[in-house]
Structure 1
């Protein structure tokens, strides 16, 4: 048990470090739980428990550094929560496999576009709110809240890409606002998993501590290095999540 927990703590640290910068940490933490022999349902619930702690740490650091727009969050964050609740309640009725191909294509598109675009997210071009961009933000937050509760892979990448596209944020502000929204959907899903008794707290608590440390370090480095660090990691993680999903389809 001790060796298993040490292994999961190391994997959790790495996952949270990367996730706090560009999203996609689940492709490290979820397989690690499965490799350690944690049953699938408890893997999802326990990972959500530990990753939510990391998400809170990362979100708080981005917020205190001024990279979360709370005026925007006031409009769109509640719709992330509503979407996540509906998503979790829908997942028990619909087979997730039908989403795989669509999400795979979208992730590849996001990663490749970001790779070859020389201007996206390089500088902050936010010019204020309009009825149009607030409506688009509500649609984005609701859709990805639902998606995170229902399925999950690539949520952070989609949020960051969407916020940059709609509001003209640079990658640092895109990451900060995406992390905040992702925390909202994470904690909503966490309550659902806790309600259904799908969390192993003996494993989850030490992993959560290691993920908090990883998230704090990753966020500090992201804020210090800025766009030059976040953009390449964002592209790599988008394509890595897509590759992981493609391998799951092939299997």
Structure 2
């Protein structure tokens, strides 16, 4: 593997980490880049090799947010554990059955999310205090199970789905939702990473340099999101949802 190829992948991984730390969706950048750059390798191996960079970025984003945003620790810790187990199960299921049927479902959901966010200007701008502690716990744990499985089984858009869930189901604003989403996403990425390490499918020669680049991008992205606040994150959210819709739509047409 020549150095120029590694540098190209690191550049895309940096951008992926930056975007993912703000609102999720870094996989839309990182995954196509490695698939296009290293076509001589099996697709499962390339997907597996993006898990370590994604994990590094998620951990950095989670650390940056947790220092500045209050996290509901008594609920988020069990949610992370549930998401971890669900992600592992999703990765295991991926090795057994095809996941192509997930794209049409995800596309419909994302189009609806885009329209709703565009119309509802106040969506995610303030924290809504209407969800009881019992309901928060139940909804967060259910969301951890569903989206955790989705991340292990399919993946793209996981961070954005987590942010959406925290806003619509729990009542968080964008900033608080992003902070909690990064913690859960770190758990799902860790599960997938451990699974694929155990399967021996990771190209460490590119995974580790990409991890450093992703971590650096996540550091800057999280700091910028915290500095700029909810309106900035909302714009990024719409951009990433649009990119995800285009990507899924192109895959279905193709």
User: What are the equivalent positions in structure 2 for 1:51-66 lying under 5 Å apart?
Assistant: 51-66=54-69
Answer yes or no: is the 8 Å Cα contact 2:83–2:148 preserved in 1.
yes
- In the TM superposition, structure 1's runs of 4+ consecutive aligned residues that sit over 3 Å from their partners are 126-129
Q: For residue 137 of structure 2, what is the aligned residue in structure 1?
A: 134
Q: For residue 115 of structure 2, what is the aligned residue in structure 1?
A: 112
User: What are the equivalent positions in structure 2 for 1:37-52 lying under 5 Å apart?
Assistant: 37=38, 39=41, 40-52=43-55
Are residue 217 (structure 1) and residue 220 (structure 2) matched? yes
Answer yes or no: is the 8 Å Cα contact 1:20–1:215 preserved in 2.
yes
Say which of 74, 92, 108 aligns to 2:95: 92
Q: What is the rounded CA distance, in whole Å, between the counterparts of 1:25 and 1:236 in structure 2? A: 12
Tell me the alpha carbon deviations over residues 128-151 of structure 1, each in whole angstroms, 9 at most, x when there is no partner: 643223212211110000000111
Instruction: Give structure 2 stretches of 5+ with no counterpart.
Output: none
**Deviation, structure 1 residue 67:** 4.0
Q: For residue 70 of structure 1, what is the aligned residue in structure 2?
A: 73
User: What are the equivalent positions in structure 2 for 1:220-231 lying under 5 Å apart?
Assistant: 220-231=223-234
SS of residue in 2 equivalent to 1:24: coil
Answer yes or no: is the 8 Å Cα contact 2:139–2:170 preserved in 1.
no
Answer yes or no: is the 8 Å Cα contact 2:45–2:202 preserved in 1.
yes
Answer yes or no: is the 8 Å Cα contact 1:125–1:169 preserved in 2.
yes
Q: What is the rounded CA distance, in whole Å, between the counterparts of 1:208 and 1:192 in structure 2? A: 17
Instruction: Give structure 1 stretches of 5+ with no counterpart.
Output: none
Q: For residue 82 of structure 2, what is the aligned residue in structure 1?
A: 79
User: How many pairs were matched up?
Assistant: 251
SS of residue in 2 equivalent to 1:57: helix
User: What are the equivalent positions in structure 2 for 1:162-181 lying under 5 Å apart?
Assistant: 162-181=165-184
TM-score, normalised to structure 2's length?
0.95
Q: What is the rounded CA distance, in whole Å, between the counterparts of 1:218 and 1:233 in structure 2? A: 11
Answer yes or no: is the 8 Å Cα contact 2:131–2:171 preserved in 1.
no
Q: What is the rounded CA distance, in whole Å, between the counterparts of 1:53 and 1:112 in structure 2? A: 32
Q: For residue 17 of structure 1, what is the aligned residue in structure 2?
A: 18
Q: What is the rounded CA distance, in whole Å, between the counterparts of 2:6 and 2:176 in structure 1? A: 34
Answer yes or no: is the 8 Å Cα contact 2:76–2:140 preserved in 1.
no
Answer yes or no: is the 8 Å Cα contact 2:48–2:201 preserved in 1.
yes
Q: What is the rounded CA distance, in whole Å, between the counterparts of 1:66 and 1:118 in structure 2? A: 23
SS of residue in 1 equivalent to 2:156: coil
Greater mean alpha carbon deviation, residues 87-96 or residues 190-199: 87-96
Q: For residue 155 of structure 1, what is the aligned residue in structure 2?
A: 158
Considering only aligned residues, what root-mean-square deviation do their CA atoms show, in Å? 1.3
Q: For residue 9 of structure 2, what is the aligned residue in structure 1?
A: 8
Are residue 123 (structure 1) and residue 134 (structure 2) matched? no
